[in-house]
Structure 1
């Protein structure tokens, strides 16, 4: 079984023909809509643009480094917008903006 522990292993996987084909199938299955936004009553779509670096990602529900056997399992994948995908992986600190003033003073 293949491993996807290192950055190089993951990069090779995500550039593979098999992944690119699966990714398109997942985008089509999920109607090019972020499934996380959809669960929260929002709709986020990218007008059927399958280009990887636009606004939609295909996310592994169970990460390939921990579950390499599910790397190409369509049931382990779903479409997420870049914002939801980054939030899931804690890539950026999602902080609420502080007001410039204290509402209690008003």
Structure 2
């Protein structure tokens, strides 16, 4: 992830279009994780957003590319594809990697 991508991602995740899409999709799934059925927290992009597709609403705002997941399932998704989340870290509800501290 580059600094350019990080800036674009922050801008996207703060946009009215994303917030409206995210909230409507979350509500349509009754706030439940689509993988385990527990309380969901994150609207996850199945096709991950990157510098090449962040401006493509067919990827970023299409309900077919979204799923509600709990934090555990979201972290498992990123663990599986990223060779691991660094120890002591997790993804927050906005998809940001955060340090948990001790």
Q: Which residue of 2 aligns with 1:59?
A: 44
The count of aligned residue pairs is: 76
Alignment of 1:79 with 2:61, yes or no, is no
What TM-score, normalized to structure 2?
A: 0.65
Deviations, residues 8-47 of structure 1 (Å, cap 9, x unaligned): 110110011111000111111111000011xxxxx3126x
Which has the greater radius of gyration? 1
Query: More relative contact order in 1 or in 2 (CA 8 Å, sep 6+)?
Result: 1
Q: Secondary structure at the match of 2:67?
A: strand
The two structures, once aligned, show a CA RMSD in angstroms of 2.0
Q: Identify the residue that residue 104 of structure 1 maps to in structure 2.
A: none
Q: Any idea what the Cα deviations from partners look like across 1:32-70, whole Å, max 9, x if unmatched?
A: 000011xxxxx3126xxxxxxxxx000001112154321
* Residue number among 34, 38, 43 corresponding to 1:44 in the alignment: 38
Q: What's the TM-score once normalised by structure 1's chain length?
A: 0.63
Moved more, 63-72 or 79-88: 63-72
In structure 2, runs of 5+ residues without a counterpart are 88-102
Q: Which runs of 4+ in 1 moved over 2 A?
A: 66-69, 91-94
Q: Is 2:74 aligned against 1:89?
A: no
